[in-house]
Each structure stands twice: as C-alpha cells, then as structure tokens.
Amino acid sequence: MTEPGTEPGTEPEPEHYFTADPSVPFKRAPVETEVWGRRLSLVSGSGVFAQGRVDIGTSILFRETAPPSGIGSVLDLGCGYGVIGLALASVVPGLRVTAVDVNARAVLLARENAAALGLIDRFTAATPAEVDAAATWDEIWSNPPIRIGKAALHELLLTWLPRLAPGGRAVMVVGKNLGADSLQRWLGEQGYPTERLASAKGFRVLESRKA
C-alpha cells in the first residue's frame, strides 16, 4: 500500500487517506482481478488507496511471486481494501490472515470483501490499535506506504517486523525510484537479511528474513 495520489499519473484523493471516516457516505467502486488463478470480485472506495483498481506495485507483487505454502498465518500490512490478504486467504487452504491499516474506511471495506468472499472466519481486518499485542505471524506481505517518509516507514517496519515468528519472512513490493535499494540495505542492517526476488516496471519485490 502506498498513499493515494503518489503514483505517476494519478491525482490525490479528495479526502486525506489517513482520516477517511467510514461513517461518512462515500463512493464504492468494484474491482475485478485474477490472482494466482483465482478470480476475485472486490469493492474499493473513495478515500482508500487504488480506488477501482489494483495498483501497479501490487499487480507486480502477485505476478512475480507464488503463494506461500506450509504456513498458518500472514499479516497484510497496510491492507487498503484487502486485496493482498484476501488473495492469500483465497488460495492458501486454512491460512489465517490479519489485515491492518490506519485508514478505518479501508478496514471496513476489507471486512466487507472478506464477508462477500466467504473468508470472514479466516480474515480479520483491523486498525493497529485493534490488533492483539501478543500476536505473531509466519509471514508479512505488504505494499508498504513509502510516501509517509523514511523515518515513519522505518518506524512502521520496526514495529511489525519483530512480530514475525522464528524463521518467518516479509515479502514487500517497493518502487525503485522510491528507495527500494536503500530500503533493502537498511533492512539488512536492522537484522533482517533481504534479497531481491524480482524487478519489473520500476518495482522491486523484496524478501526479508528474520535473522
């Protein structure tokens, strides 16, 4: 997830992303996509990143990776309307997904999408304050909000990466022009050795392991 209006050729959303209020009427927009051979019918909305579409970075993340196997839990960090976590829950049997976002409207849409897909028993969407402080995950998948700034991004990652289970990994897609290579180096310096899984259309897919 990146902040709305930050991709080339896009305009900022009319509402500030971080204050989108789900109690205020807003426009929903359908999103039809196919991920790992599974067709997903989702709903996005105004004030939430990538309204009416799957953004380029997330599309590359799906295209350049295979769904995980042999794991029981995933954190979708910066979930938006839930596309990454819902795709994972749809194709990985028994996988439990926690989807977290600071945007309460995004959390609402992710919950609605999970219910529509019949995944509500294995998919939990929440704001950070609502997540169990003791929870850990086998993997973290994310299109992280690079545009919040380096300091805030580093704080975000150092909040959630330590909650990987032993031997866990994080899979992230980051724009090269937004500092993917420097982020890769920084993650290694923090004790999360990071490899580049793929590079396409100006994006890097990074895999960080918990040392």
Distance CA 41, CA 33 (A): 7
For residues 77-97, average pLDDT: 97
169 pLDDT more than 90:
yes
Residue 194 confidence (pLDDT): 98
Domains along the sequence of the chain with CATH: 17-209 (3.40.50.150)
For residues 80-107, average pLDDT: 96
For residues 184-194, average pLDDT: 98
Grade residue 51 by pLDDT with cuts at 50, 70 and 90. Answer: confident
Distance CA 171, CA 85 (A): 12
Residue 19 confidence (pLDDT): 53
Q: What is the pLDDT of residues 96-124, one digit of tens each?
A: 999 999 999 999 999 999 999 999 999 99
pTM equals 0.88
Residue that wins the pLDDT comparison between 12 and 102:
102
Residue that wins the pLDDT comparison between 27 and 185:
185
| Tokens matching residue 34 | 């196919």
95 pLDDT more than 70:
yes
State phi, psi for 206 to the nearest 5 degrees.
-110, 145
Residue 12 confidence (pLDDT): 36
| Tokens matching residue 199 | 């590079």
For residues 197-201, average pLDDT: 97
94 pLDDT more than 80:
yes
14 pLDDT more than 70:
no
